[in-house]
């Protein structure tokens, strides 16, 4: 493509910032406010339940969250707060999941940049609205309004879809796997920065100024996309106008790409990878929905303690991912599926420990048990990209992103409902036993993918290698 020639002429360091820098900024914004949004909803729910006469008691959630009184208050508030958070997840996920079915194939014809601009604009508007709403003492359900613009413009779902398609456009089989791993490392670094800085900003300046910082980060990422990121899909704009987003012919082409037999297509491996990625998102969304609530009710942690734990968790995951990809992949010659198996077993062990957690040190044991869990996503995406002909990789990533968005909408609320039904001190935690069960299923799928690869006589090389697969 003409635009790809432009990208090739950029300095190497610039090529490695095209998607990584704006994603780092937007993930920093997300991490800055993620736990604080949950805390704000819990706090405002407390004020609503206790009423004007007693809502001053809710301050103990910030001043002495580990006290018996605070823990009892959390248990009173969490059932309603968890339902609000569940609806927040649905608002953020339903429409983007539907849109992603159309926008992936649409971007193959009309460009990636419109999707990127739309998704980053939605995130910016969301943080601006949260900044405004956090200044008022409003009903906690009102906060859902802030997430509507982001949903209408595609949200994180379309943002990731456009990003993976963009990275596919500017890489080949030799470079794609490592570039995906590097991208996810940058994504994780953004999360670490936000998670560690967010609670400090919140403690010193409160909700509103924290959302101002998130708005600034998302605004800068939007400006970077607009002015510094070139298009990768060439169209003659003088003779061709943008087509309708809701073109069902595009969806038909996407489905045919992943179902009809053709040279270079391993359908069993393809769908195994897609299902695995979707189940990983289910687990991730479930932990996002109930993780803070669980540690608050079980261990009495506040936002600062929980954010410190999550930040350290992601930092260790980044190290584990780099070691897993480079050391096991390049030095020991492990295949992509072998690396994925190691990651899945690591994540399963961590989930089981979490389910049986009673003490804070138990949670910190989880960090080391699950240190290789971050290897799973890039290795599975690497296998996915090698399961189809090169010209169809973009479409397949579109399908994968759509399924990743849709399945959590069906399964995600289960986490909230189970948690609300079996609140701590119920032991062990059923929500993390559910995650462990899903991870066992993922291990079985990885074995199935390996068998399919061997059967089709497709040779896969390690993720860290510079070679590519041969069919």
- Residue 25's pLDDT band, with cuts at 50, 70 and 90, is very high
Q: Which of 307, 285, 295, 284 is nearest to 78 (CA)?
A: 295
Q: Which of 74, 35, 94, 30 is nearest to 419 (CA)?
A: 74
Residues 247-275, mean pLDDT to the nearest whole number: 79
Q: Determine the pLDDT at residue 56.
A: 75
Residues 6 or more apart whose Cβ sits within 8 Å of residue 177:
336, 378, 381, 382, 385, 463, 464
CB atoms within 10 A of CB 280: 22
Which of 6-15, 131-140, 272-281 shows the lowest per-residue confidence on average (mean pLDDT)?
A: 6-15
Spatial separation of the C-alpha atoms in residues 351 and 348, rounded to whole Å: 5
Spatial separation of the C-alpha atoms in residues 307 and 195, rounded to whole Å: 5
Residues 184-193, mean pLDDT to the nearest whole number: 86
DSSP structural state of residue 428? S
Q: Kindly tell me if the per-residue pLDDT of 187 is higher than 70.
A: yes
Question: pLDDT digits over 317-334, tens only?
Answer: 888 888 887 778 767 778
Q: Determine the pLDDT at residue 6.
A: 65
Question: pLDDT digits over 427-442, tens only?
Answer: 788 889 999 999 999 9
Q: Kindly tell me if the per-residue pLDDT of 465 is higher than 50.
A: no
The secondary structure element, H or E, covering residue 449 is helix 430-455
Residues 6 or more apart whose Cβ sits within 8 Å of residue 305:
295
Q: Determine the pLDDT at residue 460.
A: 43
Spatial separation of the C-alpha atoms in residues 425 and 410, rounded to whole Å: 27
Q: Kindly tell me if the per-residue pLDDT of 196 is higher than 70.
A: yes
- Residue 126's pLDDT band, with cuts at 50, 70 and 90, is very high
CA separation, residue 187 to residues 177, 184, 285, 315 (Å): 15, 5, 16, 11
Tell me the CA end-to-end span of the chain in Å, nearest whole number. Answer: 25
Q: Kindly tell me if the per-residue pLDDT of 98 is higher than 90.
A: no
Tokens of 163: 């990003």
Please tell me which of 9-23, 47-61, 204-218, 251-265 the model is most confident about, judged by mean pLDDT: 204-218
Round the average pLDDT of the chain to a whole number and report it: 83
**DSSP readout, 9-62?**
TS-HHHHTTTTHHHHHHHHHHHHHHHHHHHHHHHHHHHHHHHHHHHGGGGGHHH
Phi and psi dihedrals of 470, rounded to 5?
-125, 125
Q: Determine the pLDDT at residue 468.
A: 42
CA separation, residue 80 to residues 45, 69, 143, 227 (Å): 7, 18, 14, 43
Q: Determine the pLDDT at residue 471.
A: 35
Tokens of 19: 């998607």
Q: Which of 269, 446, 429 is nearest to 346 (CA)?
A: 446
Q: Kindly tell me if the per-residue pLDDT of 274 is higher than 50.
A: yes
Question: pLDDT digits over 42-83, tens only?
Answer: 889 988 888 876 777 888 877 777 688 887 888 888 888 888
Residues in the chain: 471
Q: Kindly tell me if the per-residue pLDDT of 459 is higher than 60.
A: no
What share of the chain has pLDDT > 90, as a percent? 25
Q: Which of 300, 285, 314 is nearest to 198 (CA)?
A: 314
Question: pLDDT digits over 277-329, tens only?
Answer: 989 988 988 887 788 888 888 888 877 788 788 888 888 988 888 888 777 87
Q: Which of 86, 19, 100 is nearest to 414 (CA)?
A: 86
Question: pLDDT digits over 357-411, tens only?
Answer: 888 889 899 989 998 998 898 889 888 878 877 667 667 877 887 788 777 777 7
Domains annotated on the chain, with CATH: 17-232+262-455 (1.20.1250.20)
- Packed helices 376-385 and 176-205: angle between N→C axes, nearest 10 degrees: 150
Q: In DSSP terms, which residues pair with 459 in a beta bridge?
A: 470
Q: Determine the pLDDT at residue 2.
A: 42
Phi and psi dihedrals of 16, rounded to 5?
-85, 10
Spatial separation of the C-alpha atoms in residues 118 and 211, rounded to whole Å: 20
Spatial separation of the C-alpha atoms in residues 112 and 128, rounded to whole Å: 25
Q: Determine the pLDDT at residue 1.
A: 41
Q: Kindly tell me if the per-residue pLDDT of 445 is higher than 50.
A: yes
DSSP structural state of residue 387? S
What share of the chain has pLDDT > 70, as a percent? 88
């Amino acid at each position: 493509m003409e635009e790809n020639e432009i990208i090739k002429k950029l300095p190497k360091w610039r090529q490695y910032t095209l998607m990584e820098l704006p994603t780092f900024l937007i993930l920093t914004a997300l991490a800055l406010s993620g736990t604080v949004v949950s805390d704000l909803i819990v706090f405002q729910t407390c004020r609503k339940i206790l009423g004007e006469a007693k809502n001053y008691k809710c301050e103990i959630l910030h001043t002495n969250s580990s006290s018996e009184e605070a823990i009892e208050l959390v248990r009173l508030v969490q059932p309603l707060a968890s339902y609000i958070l569940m609806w927040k997840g649905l608002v953020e996920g339903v429409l983007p999941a539907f849109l992603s079915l159309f926008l992936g194939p649409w971007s193959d014809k009309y460009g990636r940049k419109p999707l990127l601009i739309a998704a980053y604009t939605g995130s910016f508007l969301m943080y601006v609205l949260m900044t405004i709403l956090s200044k008022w003492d409003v009903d906690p359900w009102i906060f859902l309004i802030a997430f509507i613009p982001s949903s209408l413009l595609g949200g994180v779902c379309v943002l990731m879809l456009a990003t993976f398609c963009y990275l596919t456009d500017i890489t080949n089989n030799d470079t794609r796997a490592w570039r995906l791993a590097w991208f996810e490392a940058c994504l994780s670094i953004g999360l670490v920065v936000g998670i560690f800085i967010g609670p400090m900003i919140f403690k010193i300046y409160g909700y509103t100024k924290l959302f101002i910082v998130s708005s600034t980060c998302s605004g800068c990422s939007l400006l970077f996309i607009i002015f510094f990121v070139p298009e990768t899909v060439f169209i003659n704009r003088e003779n061709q106008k943008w087509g309708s987003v809701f073109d069902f012919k595009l969806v038909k082409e996407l489905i045919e790409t992943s179902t009809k037999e053709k040279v270079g297509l391993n359908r069993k491996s393809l769908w195994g990878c897609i299902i695995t990625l979707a189940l990983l998102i289910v687990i991730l969304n479930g932990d996002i929905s109930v993780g803070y609530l669980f540690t608050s009710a079980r261990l009495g942690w506040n936002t600062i303690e929980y954010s410190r734990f999550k930040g350290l968790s992601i930092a260790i995951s980044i190290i584990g991912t780099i070691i897993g990809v480079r050391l096991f992949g390049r030095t020991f010659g492990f295949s992509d599926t072998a690396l994925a198996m190691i990651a899945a077993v690591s994540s399963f062990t961590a989930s089981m420990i979490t389910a049986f957690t009673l003490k804070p040190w138990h949670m910190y044991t989880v960090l080391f048990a699950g240190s290789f869990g971050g290897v799973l996503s890039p290795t599975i995406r690497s296998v996915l990209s090698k399961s189809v002909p090169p010209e169809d990789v973009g479409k397949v990533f579109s399908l994968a992103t759509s399924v990743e968005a849709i399945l959590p909408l069906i399964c995600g609320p289960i986490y909230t409902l189970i948690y609300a039904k079996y609140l701590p001190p119920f032991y062990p935690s059923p929500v993390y036993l559910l995650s462990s069960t899903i991870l066992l299923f993922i291990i079985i799928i990885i074995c199935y993918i390996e068998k399919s690869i061997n059967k089709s006589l497709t040779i896969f090389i390690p993720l860290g290698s510079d070679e590519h697969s041969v069919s």
